[in-house]
Chains A and B, each alone.
Chain A
């Protein structure tokens, strides 16, 4: 079946450090891939997405590239800020009518 695996957290970084959160997936066909972010006390919100192989999604300085050959969609940011402290969820959806599958989430804390 479809599934998403993320690196376990929590991840703690100093401000301006480089961030990578690994995400790999298992799915039939060609799913769309997503990163959602959940700030403390809030619901999830879409951070970025990619709909086909080699697509790069980007938003707010975050990037992720859809790698079909390695079934991966790793999230990166060159210089994190304290305001990036949140939980990050990788997710996939095979078609627009399909249920979205979420990974377990990775908690990020950025310290000044």
Chain B
């Protein structure tokens, strides 16, 4: 049972570089979300999706893009990384019939 898989686990970028954080789930969940976790601020929602082809902004969407071409995958793109994007990123999924979210193990990103 893989659940929610995030890659990579760690990444170091230079300011201005771009990258994609990958997220895949094998539970056939329609809902998927991206959060960032910063000390003292808990989890903040970046973007979410309620199904393939449908995405929407969360609390802190600036600097991030998402797309949802399949039910399984929900990649998060940083177009031009900034030091303020240094954080731990979590992907989560849930079935629309429940609020219970299943989280990946996270990606720790440092932007220098």
Which A positions have Cβ atoms within 8 angstroms of B?
Answer: 32, 34, 36, 41-46, 49, 89, 93, 95-100, 102-105
The size of the chain B interface, using a CB distance under 8 A, is 24
A88, chain B: closest CB distance, angstroms:
11
- A44-B97 contact given A99-B48, A103-B42, A104-B41, CB 8 Å threshold: no
Give Cα A58–Cα B104 distance, bound, in whole angstroms: 23
Query: Which one of B41, B45, B99, B103 lies within 8 Å of A45 (CB-CB)?
Result: B103
Other-chain residue from B42, B98, B104, B106 in contact with A102 (beta carbon distance below 8 A): B42
Please tell me if the beta carbons of B4 and A43 are within 8 angstroms of each other in the complex: yes
B106 touches A43 (CB 8 A): yes
A96 to B43, CA, bound (A): 19
Closest CB pairs A-B (n = 9): A93-B99, A43-B103, A104-B42, A102-B43, A44-B103, A43-B105, A102-B42, A105-B42, A43-B104
- In the complex, which residue of chain A has the Cβ closest to the Cβ of B97? A96
Report the bound CA distance from A103 to B44 in whole Å. Answer: 10
Q: Do A99 and B96 touch (CB < 8 A)? A: no
Residue of A whose beta carbon sits closest to that of B95: A96
Q: Count the A-B residue pairs with Cβ separation under 8 angstroms: how many?
A: 50
Task: Kindly report which residue of chain B lies nearest to residue A45, judged by CB atoms.
Answer: B103
- The 17 listed contacts between A and B (C-beta, < 8 Å) are A34-B99, A42-B105, A43-B103, A43-B104, A44-B92, A44-B101, A46-B101, A49-B100, A96-B99, A99-B45, A100-B99, A100-B101, A102-B43, A103-B42, A104-B41, A104-B42, A105-B43
Query: What is the interface of chain B, defined by CB distance below 8 A to chain A?
Result: 4, 33, 35, 40-43, 45, 48, 50, 58, 90, 92, 96-106
CB contacts (< 8 Å) of A95 on chain B: these are 99
Cβ of B41: which chain A residues have Cβ within 8 Å of it? 104
- By beta carbon, the residue of chain A nearest B90 is A43
Distance (Å) between the CB of B85 and the closest chain A CB? 19
Known: A102-B43, A104-B40. 5 other contacts (CB 8 A): A41-B105, A44-B101, A96-B98, A104-B42, A105-B42
